[in-house]
Amino acid sequence: MIKKFNLFFLTFLMIGKIKYAPGTFASLATCLLFLLLINIFNVEILFLITLIIFSYSFVAINNSFDEFKSEDPQEIVIDEVVGQMIPLLALPVYETLYPLPMIYYCISAFLLFRLFDVWKPYPINYVDNNVKGSLGIMLDDVIASFYTIITLCIALFFLGG
């Protein structure tokens, strides 16, 4: 029972089972879910939820790792969910730099996160190639999310300044 829940969780409601670009679909679903949840909860609650998902991901990956065939299986998309949520949670920072409708921040965060997640500039590529296990699966997306935040902050600073 717990193994099935872990697989359901790691594939983010089975989005990871999509044949083509499951990470992109998981990131897109995360953006849509964020737009829904930000109207219900505040950013602090969403941060807490993201932190819980991040923490439980290590447990779920370690307990279900033998179900997958590779070191970083594409079916595991919970790392994209966490990685996509982090730049979305920086929304108050973006709004102070340059006031825009929320959808623009979500689209920008989605596009930049996917760019950094696929392109994997240093140190993302180093982590992706050298850190194994659950930490390696999660950490490259977290670093990509910080690249996204930095890029968006710089762009919005110059647009607003």
Q: What is the mean pLDDT of residues 100-105?
A: 94
Q: Residue 1's pLDDT is what? A: 86
- Average pLDDT value over all residues in the chain: 95
Q: How many helices (H) and strands (E) does the chain have?
A: 8, 0
Q: Assign 57 a pLDDT band (cuts: 50, 70, 90).
A: very high
Query: Higher confidence at residue 1 or residue 123?
Result: 123
Q: Assign 75 a pLDDT band (cuts: 50, 70, 90).
A: very high
pTM of the model: 0.95
Q: What is the mean pLDDT of residues 102-122?
A: 97
pLDDT at 161 over 80: no
